[in-house]
Structure 1
Amino acid sequence: MDNSKLQNLVEDISQTYFGKPFNHIAVFNPKLRTTGGRYLLKSHNIELNYKYFEEHGMTELIAIIKHELCHYHLHIDGKGYQHKDRDFKFLLQKVGGSRYCTPLKKNVPRQNSTIKLYECTECKAIYKRKRKVDVARYVCGKCKGKLKQLK
């Protein structure tokens, strides 16, 4: 699915479920990582995450579009468009949109979570860190002695 098909889909869903036209732009934003989509308040455009369409299919994408269209139409009408507002919750339930997205599979490799040990050369204090410490820049917090990394 490309952006022109997405635009047509969003316009059709808006007319079918909300009875109102969608007069702005809907696109896939490849930079979205943790959210299914977002409604931009200033431009009134909608951005959607293509990964949700790839992993979960058309039904999940339609539910996300309904969610974002709830924000869109309520904001345009001057009503409560935020997640906490009663108008938003009511309209979302009425059109059958999703409150939350189905989580994506974690296909991003996790960072190496090994613990790194550092020892002060003077007072022999031990420091455990997840991240690497620049021993040329940092010193012991107890005696200001030099640090060295243990193997």
Structure 2
Amino acid sequence: MNDTTIKLKLSTREVEGLTNLARDIAMKYWGLDFNIPVIINPRLKRSTYGRFIYNKKTPLRIEISGYSIRNLYITEIIDLMKHEVCHYACFIMQKQLSDGSRFFEGELKRINSTSAGLSYKSVRKTRGK
């Protein structure tokens, strides 16, 4: 399965598609089960496309901004999900999971995903409008 063949059924009220996408990504790239929810958080701003939430011992959820859902292309949403699931996978494997850390950035490169701080094309097109 390549990234363009992953099907995504998506609405702002129903996030089953995002959770299923995260499960597919975790299994495809790391052979891991994905057992946390993916939610849409309308309070997240433009600068935070998504985030992985955890406490010291437990992964809790992935939050995706409502802005991202409304403004990113589907390929960018898939890339965003790969980035956030990479945080999850690193947490599960007890590896460095911070943006910018050597292991995490290496995993992003391995799975062909965008590093933090890079803007998506669709967002650059809509800024200032």
TM-score (normalised: structure 2)? 0.74
Q: Which runs of 5+ in 1 are unaligned?
A: 109-151
1:22-45: per-residue Cα shift (whole Å, max 9, x none)? 111111111111211000122521
Of 14, 21, 25, the residue aligned with 1:13 is 25
Offset of 1:107 from its aligned partner?
Answer: 6.2
Quote the Cα distance in structure 1 between the aligned partners of 2:34 and 2:119: 22
- Indicate yes or no: 2:36 matched with 1:24: yes
Quote the Cα distance in structure 1 between the aligned partners of 2:86 and 2:24: 14
Quote the Cα distance in structure 2 between the aligned partners of 1:17 and 1:77: 13
Paired position in structure 2 for 1:121: none
1:54-73 paired onto structure 2 within 5 Å: 54-73=70-89
Q: Which amino acid aligns with 1:95?
A: I
TM-score (normalised: structure 1)? 0.64
Offset of 1:11 from its aligned partner?
Answer: 0.9
1:1-151 paired onto structure 2 within 5 Å: 1=10, 2-33=14-45, 34-42=47-55, 44=59, 45-99=61-115, 100-102=118-120, 103=123, 105-106=126-127
Name the % identity: 29
Offset of 1:56 from its aligned partner?
Answer: 2.3
Offset of 1:83 from its aligned partner?
Answer: 1.5
Match of 2:54, SS state, is coil
Quote the Cα distance in structure 2 between the aligned partners of 1:51 and 1:18: 28
Q: Which runs of 5+ in 2 are unaligned?
A: 1-9
* More helix, by proportion: 2
How many residue pairs match? The answer is: 108
Quote the Cα distance in structure 2 between the aligned partners of 1:18 and 1:78: 13
Q: Which has the higher contact order (CA 8 A, sep 6+)?
A: 2
Quote the Cα distance in structure 2 between the aligned partners of 1:101 and 1:26: 22
CA contact (8 A) 1:36 1:101 kept: no
- Do the aligned partners of residues 38 and 84 (structure 1) sit closer, same or farther apart at CA in structure 2, a change above 3 Å counting? same
